[in-house]
């Protein structure tokens, strides 16, 4: 008889997956597990892209909704099995592995959202004055941005703007060629990996051209490759 202490980590992970899908039946658990792995990999790539991209990328609505639902299910699974009082060592270790995996997923979600909030706070005036950027935000992010803009406007009015002439009270003034609204520098250099060959040559904007070939890594202006990132031909690294 095999001692529980001799179980391999892979066996324990398989056991916890089996326990989870016993508590949450599904007609295709293997497919679901594969999908969970793909979703987590996609979340990691989105987090990296958000951290390295100078602009605010479109919010991944469907992916985040799916992952948040899974987090709720795992929390419920942990609570139910903790209350059940199963004292076996294997069951406790399974729960520990579930909790560890849960914290890893939550860390990735928080990292992704914090990367976005950092840019939203930095460019909040640009966001509130640009409908195209607003379309890339979640509803929660958009409410947060508008609330922050209103709070800062009231604060600046209280501190100094109200004492200035009306013509100088706007925070988005562009008079005299002076741009008061901070916006992302779309010419900032980014690292990219080419996922699919891009047809033709890419104009670098300085008279030079380059071919983007699958598997290669380049350092290029974000503006040059922005369309190909959106198309999924290249990814930020």
DSSP three-state, residue 130:
coil
Please check whether residue 102 lies inside any domain of the structure.
Answer: yes
The CA distance from 178 to 106, in Å, is 42
Q: What is the CATH number of the domain that holds 218?
A: 3.40.5.60
Please check whether residue 200 lies inside any domain of the structure.
Answer: yes
Residue 40, domain extent? 4-122
Q: Tell whether 67 and 159 lie within a shared domain.
A: no
Q: Tell whether 65 and 163 lie within a shared domain.
A: no
Q: Tell whether 27 and 54 lie within a shared domain.
A: yes
- Number of domain units in the chain: 3
Q: What are phi and psi of 20, to 5 degrees?
A: -65, -45
What's the confidence (pLDDT) of residue 170? 64
Task: Give 173's contacts (C-beta < 8 A, 6+ positions apart).
Answer: 180
Please check whether residue 184 lies inside any domain of the structure.
Answer: no
Alpha-carbon dihedral angle through residues 168, 173, 178, 179, given to the nearest 10 degrees: 140
Q: What is the CATH number of the domain that holds 98?
A: 1.20.58
Please check whether residue 107 lies inside any domain of the structure.
Answer: yes
pLDDT, averaged per 10 consecutive residues of the chain (237 residues), comes to: 44 47 51 87 96 96 94 86 65 81 93 95 91 95 91 74 65 60 91 95 89 95 95 94
Q: Tell whether 118 and 14 lie within a shared domain.
A: yes
Q: Tell whether 74 and 25 lie within a shared domain.
A: yes
Please check whether residue 138 lies inside any domain of the structure.
Answer: yes
At 113, list the tokens.
Answer: 């959202």
The CA distance from 187 to 222, in Å, is 6
């Amino acid at each position: 008889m095999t001692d529980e202490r001799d179980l391999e980590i892979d066996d324990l992970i398989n056991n916890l997956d089996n326990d989870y899908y016993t508590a949450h039946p599904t007609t295709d658990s293997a497919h679901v597990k594969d999908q969970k792995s793909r979703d987590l990999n996609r979340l990691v790539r989105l987090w990296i892209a958000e951290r390295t991209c100078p602009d605010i990328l479109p919010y991944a609505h469907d992916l985040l909704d799916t992952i948040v639902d899974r987090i709720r299910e795992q929390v419920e699974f942990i609570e139910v099995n903790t209350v059940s009082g199963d004292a076996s060592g294997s069951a406790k270790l399974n729960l520990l592995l579930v909790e560890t995996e849960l914290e890893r997923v939550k860390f990735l979600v928080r990292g992704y959202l914090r990367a976005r909030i950092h840019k939203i706070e930095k460019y909040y005036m640009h966001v509130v004055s640009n409908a195209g950027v607003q379309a890339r935000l979640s509803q929660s992010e958009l409410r947060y941005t508008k609330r922050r803009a209103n709070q800062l406007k009231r604060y600046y009015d209280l501190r100094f703007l109200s004492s200035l002439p009306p013509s100088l009270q706007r925070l988005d003034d562009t008079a005299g060629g002076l741009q008061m609204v901070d916006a992302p520098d779309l010419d900032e250099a980014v690292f990219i990996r080419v996922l699919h060959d891009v047809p033709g040559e890419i104009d670098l904007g300085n008279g030079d051209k380059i071919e983007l070939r699958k598997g290669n890594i380049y350092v290029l202006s974000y503006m040059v490759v922005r369309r190909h990132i959106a198309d999924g031909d290249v990814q930020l690294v």
